[in-house]
Structures are given as C-alpha cells and as structure tokens.
Amino acid sequence: MIRKHFAGFAASALALAVSAQAFAGTVTTDGTDIMIKTKSGLEVTTTDKQYSFKLGGRIQADFDQFDGFYTTNNDSGNEAYFRRAQMEFGGNYKDWRYQINYDFGDNRSNENRFDEATITYTGFAPINIKIGRFDPDYSLEKATSSKWVTTKERSAILDLASWTTLSENGMGVQVNGTYGGMFYGSASIQQQDSSASLEDEDGKDVNSYFMRGVFAPIVSETEVLHFGLDYATRSYGNERDGTKFGGAISSNLGVRGINENNGLNSAALVLAPNDASATAGNTTTGFESDDVVGMEFAYMTGPFSVQSEYLKRDLSGYGSNGDREATGYNMLLAYTLTGESRIYKLDGAKFDAIKPFDKVNGAWELFYRYDNLNVEDDQTMATVGGVAIDESSAKVHTLGVNWYANEAVKISASYLMSKSDEDTVKLQNGRFAAGDDDDSGKAISLRAQYVF
C-alpha cells in the first residue's frame, strides 16, 4: 500500500515537473525578492518596498432618468453612459513615485484625457513634493476618490467654484504631508487653461493657488473626527479677444447625465450667467479676481457617519462692474446596515472604501444628503419674464443606497429632488432660456462600478 501511494506521488511530481518545463521558465530577480498581488489589479513589489508597480482601473456604468427642470421640455429624459472607464498605472523607484490615470470614458469632449500624470518625491518624509497634472486638493468630498465617495456624484456646492476641483489642462506643483498623527496640509500652484480659454493675448495662462489644512484629533478604525479649512485664489487678465472673465456659474444639481452626449434633451441650471457687458473688446466690466474659502467637518463612529462642508466664493468686479458672491453648504448622513465603518486615511485627509465583513452578501449603506446653493450679485444678472434677477438659489435632496457586493463591485441607486427659484435661467443646447415653467426636478440615478 505504501509503495502504491509513493508511486502515485512520484507520478504526480513528474507530471508537475514536465508541466513546469513546458509552460514556464525560471523566475529570478536581480536583488530583493518580489511579491505579486492580484486581488486588486496587478501589483508587483519588492519585499523591501524600494521598487513597485501596480496596474489597475475603474469602470463606472451610469444611468440617469430625470424630469421637470432637468429637461428642455419640462417632461422626461434619460441617459446611459460611462461616467469613467479609467486605466491606472503607478509605482515607485525608491523615493520617487509616479502615477498615470487615463480616462477613456469622459464624454465631455471627443478626446480622451489624462486624469492624472504625476511624479512625486517622498525623500523628505513625511513631506511629499508632487509635479504634473492632478486635481487640486480642495474639499473632503473631492479628496475622497470617486470610487468610494458615498453619493454617486459629489455635492452640487462644488459647482459654485468648479475650477477648485478640476485639473483642467494645466500643470502644477504641490507640497503635502502629515504631522503628529493628527495634522495634514497641502499647498499648490497650478497653471490652468480651461475650455473657456482664459489665456490672455500674450499667451499667459491663469495661475491658481490652493491651500488645505486638516486637524483630525481622532483617527481610528471605528471613530474619526475631522476638521478642515480650504482656500483657493486666482486672478484674470483679458482673454485673447479683449474680453474679461464673465463669471458664469451653473450646476447639474447632482445629475451628471444631463451633460453627457451634448445634453441635447437636458437643461443645466444657470445660477449666474456671464456678465452681460463683458463682451469682446469691453475691458471695463467682467471680473478680475476669484477667491474661494471652504470649511470641512466629519465625524464617524462605527457604522454611522456625518459630514458637512461650506463654500464661499467672491468674484471681484472689474471697473464699474459689481461683485458677485456664491455660497453653499451641505450635510451628509450615512449608516452601514451591516456594521462596517468607513476607512479613513490621514495621508490625504480622506475617506476610503468600505470593506464588507460578509464576503457572500456584502455590505449595505443608506445615505441622505442636503445641498443648498445661493448666488448674489451687486447688479442685475439676468432678466426673466420682465423680472430683474440679482439673486438665485437651489436646493437638492438626495436619498440613496450603496451595495458593496465585495471589495471590487459597488452598486449605487439614488433618488434626487431639486428645487430652484421660480424666476431663474436654464442653459438649453448652449442657449439661455426662461426656466419659470418648472422650478423643480426629480431624478433616479444608478451606477454599477467595478474596481480592479
């Protein structure tokens, strides 16, 4: 019997040896041993952490059904689209890190684009120096990855100063770091040239400056207390044709689908149109400086979390033009029915994934968010139905559920209810139109996400 088992073992060993000889060669390294992980993408790291690379990405397939104010005819519309289809490649060579994220799913233009392309030096730990193309470090919601932000879309208040959360087409330098296990800070300068082409007649781009500071006196796996301050500023010259920056402010009110595929069946809310007198060659109007201040708060205990942000933007009028002020605040409540806590990372001062306890049924999260937006102008911004408008506002209620099926798959569903001023303005197919036929809208938003 023993010889029979031994013969079987010998045969198996011989088969394995033949297979290895046929299908694989010898794996060697020129130094430290390596580790290969495939649980989330493909990651190869030396055991001493001196060298690594990781290939991953995200796919976010969205569907939005909307009506009322969100549509051109105040009836109903829908849109199915890839919110993101992104490949991510990064790693390190000793004290140097690199990251390249390329988005194939951005439908805002006919061109694919780099979401990030950066080189970071970490040799001054805990201080990091980053250079390249990256999103500004502004707002807790923006700092949190789109993969793990609670709501399907980030708060509408960020639309009040969209340049503070977009990398646009420019390059920049950022210094960031942590201290004492409870402080995080960052400062950056970024050269931004938006789609509106703010480059002046001499070819000079707009330089934007950002600062963010966070104090987190409690950071643990099940409890977090977070306070943050944000500041951003930039100034404007004349555009190439002599036009000053017009200061338009618009918002999708949480429904991205109205902007996809040219938004032919949809209408965005215009909280403030371009200054009507900031026309070509008229350099005595428009706006010359732009300052944005923000505050952050978050508290998490076990499966429950609450977070809130406040934003205030001041546009300084040029010449005889008046000033414009935009303010917004939100409140987000979330509760994980299955008991998991949200992961928090002080490096970056942001929330991260929820990892399900139950590997079969996953984790379930309920959430509610309230957004409030308001814009005031020293002068008349627009005239609708014979009524002069110098102030506009909007509110959005979002109720939803997230199912974290596992660490790679997340399914989200949201129901949104929005309300705007009765006398307001829509942007329909690139043209302004009166919006007083319907001052409210509803939407259902769905997302299927796979992260690798």
Q: What is the pLDDT of residue 372?
A: 97
The Cβ of residue 46 has, within 10 Å, a number of other Cβ atoms equal to 15
For residues 95 and 196, the model is more confident at 95
Q: What is the pLDDT of residue 273?
A: 82
Across the range 420-434, mean pLDDT stands at: 55
Whether 65 has a pLDDT exceeding 90, the answer reads yes
Whether 217 has a pLDDT exceeding 80, the answer reads yes
- Per DSSP, 6 falls in state H
Across the range 360-377, mean pLDDT stands at: 96
Domains and CATH numbers, the chain: 57-88+130-451 (2.40.160.10)
Q: Distance between CA atoms of 423 and 246, rounded to whole angstroms?
A: 21
Q: Distance between CA atoms of 45 and 90, rounded to whole angstroms?
A: 12
Residue 212: name the closest of 176, 244, 261 by CA.
176
Whether 167 has a pLDDT exceeding 90, the answer reads no
For residues 151 and 10, the model is more confident at 151
Across the range 122-140, mean pLDDT stands at: 95
**Are 365 and 417 spatial neighbours (Cβ–Cβ below 8 Å)?**
no
Whether 194 has a pLDDT exceeding 60, the answer reads no
Whether 397 has a pLDDT exceeding 80, the answer reads yes
| Residue 367 exposure: Cα atoms within 13 Å on the Cβ side | 26
Whether 123 has a pLDDT exceeding 70, the answer reads yes
Residue 63: name the closest of 255, 301, 309, 338 by CA.
255
* Residue 80's pLDDT band (cuts 50, 70, 90): very high
Q: What is the pLDDT of residues 260-313, one digit of tens each?
A: 765 555 667 888 888 765 554 555 578 889 999 999 999 999 999 999 999 999
Average pLDDT, rounded, for the chain: 84
Q: Which of 163-172, 183-192, 211-220, 328-337 has the lowest mean pLDDT?
A: 163-172
Q: What is the pLDDT of residue 7?
A: 43
Provide the token pair at 48: 């001493």
Q: What is the pLDDT of residue 37?
A: 87
Whether 425 has a pLDDT exceeding 70, the answer reads no
Give DSSP secondary structure letters for 330-387: EEEEEEETT-PPPPEETTTTEE-PPPPS-TTT-EEEEEEEEEEEEEEESS--EEETTE
Q: What is the pLDDT of residues 12-40, one digit of tens each?
A: 444 434 444 444 455 566 677 888 988 87
Q: Distance between CA atoms of 371 and 397, rounded to whole angstroms?
A: 7
Q: What is the pLDDT of residue 266?
A: 60
Residue 425 phi, psi (nearest 5):
-130, 140
Residue 90 phi, psi (nearest 5):
-160, 175
Q: What is the pLDDT of residue 379?
A: 83
Q: Distance between CA atoms of 137 and 125, rounded to whole angstroms?
A: 19
Whether 398 has a pLDDT exceeding 90, the answer reads yes
Give DSSP secondary structure letters for 240-300: TTSPPB---EEE-TT-GGGGGGGGTTBEEEEEEPPPTT--TT-TTSSEEEEEEEEEEEEEE
pLDDT over 70 percentage in the chain: 78
Whether 431 has a pLDDT exceeding 50, the answer reads no
Whether 384 has a pLDDT exceeding 80, the answer reads no
Across the range 118-123, mean pLDDT stands at: 97
pLDDT over 90 percentage in the chain: 59
Structure-derived torsion over alpha carbons of residues 3, 5, 8, 14, reported in degrees to the nearest 10: -80
